[in-house]
Amino acid sequence: MAKILSLSSQVVRGFVGNNVTQFVLQRLGHEVWSLPSVLLSNHPGHKIFGGSRLNSKILRPALEALEFGGHLNQVDAVMTGYLPTREHVFIALDALKLVRKLNPKAVFLYDPTLGDDARPGRPEGLFIDVKAAECQRAELLPLADIVTPNRFELEWLTMRPVLDEASALTAIDQLGSGSVLVSSVPGKAQTLLNLLAGDVQTFVTSVNKKDIRANGTGDLLAAFYMAAILAGEPQDRALGLATAGVSTVLEQTGDDDELHLVETQDQWSSVEPADVRKVEYSAA
């Protein structure tokens, strides 16, 4: 069992951010310590929502208490997700530095929750402040062991077009940081690719494209992948498990506006990995 410190959003109703990370990882046998960047009634993609960001006056004392209480030396991994301001980025950076000072082998998964392609009810583009996004690229990205952007986020981080498998590989090469798992890359016909540039090899899985209303699929993929890596799975199998886990949840979620995580937990917690193929790629 691993212990993970997760800094991301939290909602009262639904499954995004830490609500996804904590439920998935704990269901799969790990322990998650959630430090929320925001506390909202539900995802702001809904017409009605309430709550607010949590600032450093709240978050820093909580982080310092974990440090002074002698708890951070237990942390095996750090995950970051929704960090809407530069203040949140620096809190996450401080948390990572504190953990790695005590445990240099702690894994850092950076999920750049910056924006997305257009979908019903949401325009394409960044959904956080551009200064916060730039700060994440400058400060968090270089420190990451694992980066999990979607297609739009990889394009934004690298300022290179990501239109298909080949251009995604080129962009990943420019990213220059750890293992990269990019989701929602356009494939052939009506398919999307999850593409993993691992430590040594590159792998890809393919899924049928679906129109979905629910948010949190990026959080879900990152959580499934992290759980598999922390359990000691090889990277290709971890990719297959993460892809199959997300597909299982989405199949049952359909066009509902929230992920069906609880109802499907028996299926995704014992899912067989999706087919994975090896990609031959050499950087130019």
What pTM was computed for the model?
A: 0.95
**Block residue for tokens 């952007």:** 149
Full DSSP string of 187-234:
-STTEEEEEEE-SS-EEEEEEE--------HHHHHHHHHHHHHHTT--
**Number of C-beta neighbours around residue 85 at 10 A:** 18
Tens of pLDDT, residues 12-71: 999 999 999 999 999 999 999 999 999 999 988 888 999 999 999 999 999 999 999 999
**Block residue for tokens 């590159």:** 202
Tens of pLDDT, residues 119-132: 555 556 898 999 99
Classify burial at 66, counting beta carbons within 10 Å of its beta carbon; exposed 0-12, middle 13-18, buried 19 or more.
buried
Give the confidence band of 176 by pLDDT, cuts at 50, 70, 90: confident
Tens of pLDDT, residues 82-100: 999 999 999 999 999 999 9
CA torsion angle 16 19 24 29 (round to 10): 160
Name the active-site residue from 129, 173, 199, 219. Answer: 219
Token pair of 278 as six digits: 């090896």
Residues 6+ apart with CB under 8 A from 216: 14, 15, 16, 17, 19, 20, 43, 259
CA distance 213 to 190: 18
Q: Is 274 helix (H, G, I), strand (E, B) or coil?
A: coil
Give me the domains of the chain, ranges plus CATH numbers: 3-279 (3.40.1190.20)
**Block residue for tokens 């040594």:** 200
Strand partners, 146: 109, 179
> Among this protein's residues, is 256 annotated catalytic?
no
pLDDT of 119 reads: 59
**Number of C-beta neighbours around residue 208 at 10 A:** 12
Measure Cα distances from 188 to 16, 32, 238, 243, 256 in Å: 29, 37, 23, 17, 26
Measure Cα distances from 137 to 89, 93, 149, 154, 252 in Å: 10, 12, 12, 11, 35
CA atoms within 13 A on the CB side of 135: 16
Helix (H) or strand (E) holding 126: strand 125-126
Q: Quick check: 178 and 196 in contact, CB under 8 A?
A: no
Give the confidence band of 186 by pLDDT, cuts at 50, 70, 90: very high
Classify burial at 284, counting beta carbons within 10 Å of its beta carbon; exposed 0-12, middle 13-18, buried 19 or more.
exposed
pLDDT of 177 reads: 74
CA distance 242 to 268: 9
Token pair of 56 as six digits: 């450093």
Q: Return mean pLDDT, the chain.
A: 94
Tens of pLDDT, residues 188-226: 989 999 999 998 899 999 999 988 889 999 999 999 999
Instruction: State residue 55 phi and psi, 5-degree precision.
Output: -95, -175
